[in-house]
Copies of this chain bind each other. A is one copy, B any other.
């Protein structure tokens, strides 16, 4: 998996190899095609999705639709399972995220900024779905990026106007949840509208989750999920940020028509429509963590999985990780070495400096100062999509000797952290984790490995470490 292995000729080669192996297991477990094939299984005329069985003889047509960065490999897997039984299909992917498909049409479109290619693709998809009858089976493939790739503004609203609505709200301080309430009520796809379009056909939805916690109404804006929010809620958000004057008139007019009952609401929880919908998360962070934990156990580590919902400022989360690693070393709590601490999720980086990096690289950079001098300790972070921030690395790995090696190479890690400039120093250290795009995305995996060493009595070091040390020991 790893194109450049971060252990050749470095300290702690065993721990470095183990970290690479654990990350590889995590990514493989959420490979989009493998994830689909694990959950969608055909036995002759019987089709199983997760635990439910369907009789394919009852389906006149089988349509496959989808959108997202992983749509191509997911669609290819569906073709492997259903083959010639597929009547028609259309999936929309990010430019370049293509794959060989035989029966399902592939449309490339803009991401993260929606474009007219996506708009045309979405229109074709809606046309196909609206043609579906009660006898038809629709398979819908949802993955990260699906929202931008499937732009379908309501009649009367242009794509540019819809983009402007999102933009204006975000810049006025609305949360992403609030923005989504508005967006769902200005879309023909989001907030369960896609499921509405596919009704009365049977709808099987396979989701590769790129949102922490797998909120189905948030992943790709929940095209096949009930929407608990209303037109009135959407108007309330607009009012809360005093956007009535600044929003495109067409958008405001549409929301007002909806709130006064002249447009049908998005489908709500409990809508009978969803009786014919099965939604399954085929891959998520929890699954990646479970695979990572298994691999680590196989390598002889005691394992603690903290959470698949990790959040927090990357450099501060690194300090928490280091404090747990220190505890493992010094007091054999919560694990006795050799030990592996795992967490998944998505940290954040508040940008202060002009540098280049990503969440995982910044996490690793901050950890380096904390674990400086510790034997048999490795800390690493890794984006399962293979792309950490605007870099070609998936993440980075550090150990107790990283700061010393950096110093001997003339690299200033404190400075790099202050400038959010993690990428260059890890490139120079040779400690980037590089996989290339993995075509999957279930957020990040973070780990700390502590090898088997005598529990050392810790003494305060006199070497110059991070400035954090000052804060740590103040009374």
Contact = CB atoms under 8 A, between A and B. Distances in A.
A312 B308 contact: no
Contact of A308 (B306, B331, B470, B471): B331
A170 to B, nearest CB: 8
Contacts of A464: 175, 178, 240
A181 interface: yes
A458 to B, nearest CB: 5
Interface in A314-337: 316-317, 319-320, 322-324, 326-327, 330-331, 333-334
Interface in A222-281: 228-229, 233, 240
Interface in A423-451: none
A217 interface: yes
Interface residues of A, number: 68
B306 A311 contact: no
Contacts of A144: 475
B469 A175 contact: yes
A461 interface: yes
22 contacts: A112-B475, A145-B475, A177-B462, A180-B460, A210-B475, A212-B472, A212-B473, A213-B458, A215-B458, A216-B459, A217-B460, A286-B331, A306-B323, A306-B327, A307-B327, A307-B334, A308-B327, A309-B324, A311-B322, A313-B319, A316-B317, A346-B472
Which 4 pairs show the lowest CB-CB distances between chains A and B? A316-B316, A307-B327, A312-B319, A215-B460
A470 B307 contact: no
A472 B320 contact: no
Contacts of A197: none
Contact of A470 (B175, B217, B346, B475): B175
Given A311-B472, A323-B345, A462 B306 contact: no
Contacts of A309: 323-324, 326-327, 330
A348 B323 CA distance: 14
Q: How many copies does the complex hold?
A: 2
Interface centre among A213, A309, A334 (most CB of B within 10 A): A309
A166 to B, nearest CB: 13
A468 interface: yes
Interface of A: 112, 144-145, 170, 173, 175-178, 180-181, 210-218, 228-229, 233, 240, 286, 304-313, 316-317, 319-320, 322-324, 326-327, 330-331, 333-334, 343, 345-346, 348, 458-462, 464-465, 467-475
B319 A307 contact: no
B311 A460 contact: no
Contacts of A333: 305-308
B304 A310 contact: no
Contacts of A319: 311-313
Contacts of A475: 112, 144-145, 210
Given A178-B462, A311-B320, 6 more contacts: A213-B326, A305-B333, A307-B324, A312-B317, A317-B320, A346-B472
Nearest to A465: B175
Contact of A307 (B216, B317, B323, B472): B323
Given A320-B320, A323-B310, A460-B218, A467 B305 contact: no
Contacts of A210: 475
A23 to B, nearest CB: 19
Contacts of A305: 333-334
Nearest to A179: B470
Nearest to A233: B462
Given A176-B474, A213-B326, A334 B312 contact: no
A78 to B, nearest CB: 24
B316 A313 contact: yes
Contacts of A211: 473
A464 to B, nearest CB: 7
Contacts of A112: 475
Contacts of A145: 475
B304 A323 contact: no
Contacts of A459: 215-217, 228
Contacts of A214: 458
